[in-house]
Structure 1
Amino acid sequence: MTLETSRIRLGGAPVDLLEFDQAVELIAGRALGGAELPLGVVSINLDHIHHFGDGSSLYGDFGLRSGPVGDIEWLNLADGAPLVEQARRLTAHRWPRLAGSDLIGALLARAERDGSSVGFLGGLPSTEKELNRRLLAEYPALELAGCWTPSREQLADAAYSCALAEEIRNVGVDILVVCLGKPRQELWIDHYGALTGAKVLLAFGAVVDFLAGRVERAPRWAADNGLEWAWRLAKEPKRLFRRYLVEGPAAYRAVRRSRVS
């Protein structure tokens, strides 16, 4: 089954252009099954362009062709003001920013309604209890299949990752929210996602920390005005300085050079 979306390339990465409700409907529908391949959902932002775009060390490692790649079919959603603004310039249509942190609430509500089971991979072991508590309070009928919080060292071990994927398969997860950070989460899904048996795998970065209340989300005014990066940088300068102020400008220039093919 090939995704029916309008696809352009920004900074060397594919971007599927969808409205918010279309994206939720497509992802939730795939969680109910019926497709030959699992669906991997990735947020395309400047950090993604840095890791996977033109001239990057990982260019061509996954998801760059239209349609199925290996055992995963990828849906590439525009996340970030520079990408949606360049998409508007190229298509003469104002597309929404589809960040995982914006989509996750609607997707969990749909999973609760549809009876789709959800699992989380990533985050710290200390956040698991609070994540469970908050999800139970907000989505009382949601089927939470499990939470897995492996270390980076464990995930670097292929045998461990295969065993972890098998454990997830045995539990039965329809939607696996993978929060390992770029580029680790995309590569893990590409290498091991099909082994998990999940119908949908969401590469959603810090979503597990947002849901657990460990990390505060940027206020709406900052996100709406393209200033979420500045808000996050102010909150976590040591961790995010290089991403936003060293790596980000080159990725931004690559996006602005993009043209419709």
Structure 2
Amino acid sequence: MSNTIEMFGITIHKFSMSESIDVLQEWLQFGDNSCKYVVTPNVDHIVQLEKNPAFKQAYANAALTVADGKPVVLASKLLGKPLPETVPGSDLVPNIFTRFQQSNLPLRVYLLGAMPGVGEIAAANIKAQWPVVEVVGILSPDFGFEKDSAYCDRICQAIADANADLLIIGLGAPKQEIWVNKYASRLPVKVALCVGATIDFLAGNKPRAPMWMRKFGLEWMHRMCSEPKRLVKRYMVDAVIYPKLFIREWLKK
């Protein structure tokens, strides 16, 4: 039986959170430094993938794709190819750390993204909660850095010099996915996770939605209310386009 489904023009792995952690732990313990990168599609990703070829190519080259948003999981069930559950990047990272802490295995991590100073707070929180996890590098790149190839070369070299196992990329979509796809061959890490605001969450810089909101798929509402200027327009557009994309998938079925 295949462990993937095809939906919205992308391949998604039918893994639960626990199964995803199993795969990532194996790669991190026994894999080579070939930069297997992970993407986590939500509604906004699905909408952006329609109009951004570079984003879609980054998805095509990802080693692991697990559904972030509950609407994506719901769509899979309605289309008769159910995904087991959501695997949000913001939960995936602390779950990996917990698995390595429970196994008493060392893990070297590089934090790329978030605003200046946030990575340092996140690193201190990581050290306090998961002592086996060592943050070996922190970088908050300048705005628009992805357009400067020389700057990107220096970032790749800094990550290489840090000898990290795991690269956590918190640059926002689609920038983080497009960037890691472009530079993966220059990044000698075992795994890279494209996980948006996760560094901010680890730092406590942005509050996570209450557990009941996450359980009912309402984390988007909490985030929208927390950052209305940035997110209201995005979510309004997504709310119009995503149902149309679902109907298209339904008609294909």
Is the TM-score greater than 0.5?
yes
Q: Check conservation: 2:55, 2:177, Cα contact below 8 A.
A: no
Shift of the 27–154 alpha-carbon distance from structure 1 to 2, 3 Å rule, reads same
Q: What is the alpha-carbon distance in structure 2 between the residues aligned to residue 94 and residue 77 of structure 1? A: 9
2:249 aligns to what? 258
Alignment partner for residue 57 of structure 2, among 61, 75, 78? 61
Q: Deviations over 1:87-143 (max 9, x none)?
A: 122346461111011111111123443212111100111213321221111012212
Q: What is the alpha-carbon distance in structure 2 between the residues aligned to residue 229 and residue 192 of structure 1? A: 30
Q: Check conservation: 1:42, 1:204, Cα contact below 8 A.
A: yes
Are positions 1:227 and 2:227 aligned together? Answer: no
Are positions 1:192 and 2:189 aligned together? Answer: no
Partner SS state of residue 25, structure 1 = helix
TM-score (norm 2): 0.90
Q: What is the alpha-carbon distance in structure 2 between the residues aligned to residue 170 and residue 126 of structure 1? A: 21
2:195 aligns to what? 204
Q: Check conservation: 1:50, 1:56, Cα contact below 8 A.
A: no
Shift of the 256–219 alpha-carbon distance from structure 1 to 2, 3 Å rule, reads farther
Shift of the 17–8 alpha-carbon distance from structure 1 to 2, 3 Å rule, reads same
Q: Which runs of 5+ in 1 are unaligned?
A: none
Are positions 1:106 and 2:103 aligned together? Answer: no
Partner SS state of residue 63, structure 1 = helix
User: What is the aligned length?
Assistant: 250
1:95 aligns to what? 84
Q: Check conservation: 1:181, 1:206, Cα contact below 8 A.
A: yes
**Residue type at the aligned position of 2:204:** G
Alpha-carbon offset, residue 47 of structure 1: 1.3
Q: Check conservation: 1:111, 1:118, Cα contact below 8 A.
A: no
Q: What is the alpha-carbon distance in structure 2 between the residues aligned to residue 44 and residue 100 of structure 1? A: 10
Alpha-carbon offset, residue 10 of structure 1: 2.5
**Residue type at the aligned position of 2:122:** L
Q: What is the alpha-carbon distance in structure 2 between the residues aligned to residue 58 and residue 248 of structure 1? A: 23
Q: What is the alpha-carbon distance in structure 2 between the residues aligned to residue 40 and residue 114 of structure 1? A: 21
2:143 aligns to what? 152
Alignment partner for residue 119 of structure 1, among 110, 118, 130? 110
1:15 aligns to what? 12
Higher mean alpha-carbon deviation, 207-216 vs 75-84, is at 75-84
Q: Which runs of 5+ in 2 are unaligned?
A: none
Partner SS state of residue 132, structure 2 = coil
Alpha-carbon offset, residue 23 of structure 1: 0.3
Shift of the 91–157 alpha-carbon distance from structure 1 to 2, 3 Å rule, reads same
Root mean square deviation of aligned Cα? 2.2
Residue identity (%): 28
- Which structure's residues are more often helix, by fraction? 2
Q: Check conservation: 1:19, 1:95, Cα contact below 8 A.
A: yes
Q: Check conservation: 1:5, 1:16, Cα contact below 8 A.
A: no
Alpha-carbon offset, residue 196 of structure 1: 1.7
Alignment partner for residue 27 of structure 2, among 24, 30, 34? 30
2:123 aligns to what? 132
Q: What is the alpha-carbon distance in structure 2 between the residues aligned to residue 168 and residue 144 of structure 1? A: 12
Are positions 1:213 and 2:210 aligned together? Answer: no
Q: What is the alpha-carbon distance in structure 1 between the residues aligned to residue 15 and residue 127 of structure 2? A: 30
